[in-house]
Chains A and B, each alone.
Chain A
């Protein structure tokens, strides 16, 4: 039996954590993702950029009370990729 290859973009702990988190919400701020994943600011920033470059998420930059505010949202491409990834790992786990 042959297995579908796992999406290399999602097969990374932090990126997968971010996408899994965004699946359950409409949008989330950078600090929320930071808190929930426990990642470092630098690493999270890098991985978010990577997800954005792949079209998996959209990043909106704005301001709130004069402080920069970064909001992330899962894009349709990201939802599809996540669904395929979950299906692929389920296939791997089938006895």
Chain B
């Protein structure tokens, strides 16, 4: 639309803060009837800008208002973490199931079979997490540096855990207590990064459970400590985190 009429652009920009909008339209529609075009642009601008009560006006701001706006937007960006409650719930359920299955196999079946539930839980959890992560990643509208840091924290945890399991098995040591201790690290760090207290407490709980597990050989006690830590360190924070994520997404 050609805004060739003297004063029209000025009027639009003055009234509705859309100086550039006029110019952008100018490029798009050469050859249209000028009078009609100007009218259409005027109506569009009026409906777009005059009725909006959002951040759109070319109005002047005081320094205090500017600072408030900056703080508000930085706060919005900080809250744009990826949804991660799914992973805590998934792994919490899978690892509790694996621990119980391993315990049942140890007491009722062959002790040599007790590694199978862990392998199945690890493979299943890894597969579901990868599929879910890829699917969610495609939907994400923002790349947050904190998401990347959290991802690396958990990747580091997984690598260390695998090395620890291999070393423990080689030396004939049950890796359960040390893995529980190690699980406290990424859980605590994630809680601190996203400033989510239940996960921070969950991390501390894993450390306490890991320490307690060093002092007992009783299988039922080990299962209780591990499952309790998983329940309160992964599942409960996962449920609370999911609630918070749902609230933030709908806010």
Q: A residues bordering B, Cβ < 8 Å?
A: 6, 11-14, 16-17, 20-29, 31-32, 35-40, 42-43, 45-47, 49-50, 64-65, 85-86, 89-90, 92-93
A-B contact pairs, 13 of them (CB 8 A): A6-B66, A11-B61, A17-B73, A21-B74, A27-B143, A28-B141, A29-B141, A39-B52, A43-B48, A46-B20, A49-B24, A50-B20, A89-B63
Given contacts A28-B142, A43-B21, A46-B20, contact A13 B59 (CB under 8 A): yes
Is the contact region of chain A dominated by helix, strand, or loop, or is it mixed? Answer: helix
Given contacts A29-B141, A29-B142, A43-B18, contact A37 B55 (CB under 8 A): yes
Number of residues from B at the complex interface, CB < 8 A: 37
**Chain B nearest Cβ from A91, distance in angstroms:** 9
Is A40 a contact of B59 with CB atoms below 8 Å? no
Nearest-CB residue, chain A, relative to B58: A12
Q: Is B49 an interface residue (CB 8 A)?
A: yes
Contact with A along B48-90 (1 / 0, CB 8 A): 1100101111111101101101101110111010000000000
A-B interface, 9 closest residue pairs, ranked by CB to CB distance from nearest: A24-B77, A20-B73, A32-B141, A38-B54, A92-B63, A26-B143, A89-B63, A29-B141, A46-B20
Q: Is B17 an interface residue (CB 8 A)?
A: yes
Given contacts A20-B73, A29-B141, A49-B24, contact A14 B55 (CB under 8 A): yes
Which residues on the A side are within 8 Å of B148 (C-beta)?
Answer: 26
Which residues on the B side are within 8 Å of A65 (C-beta)?
Answer: 138
Q: Which of A14, A32, A39, A47 contacts B142 (CB 8 A)?
A: A32
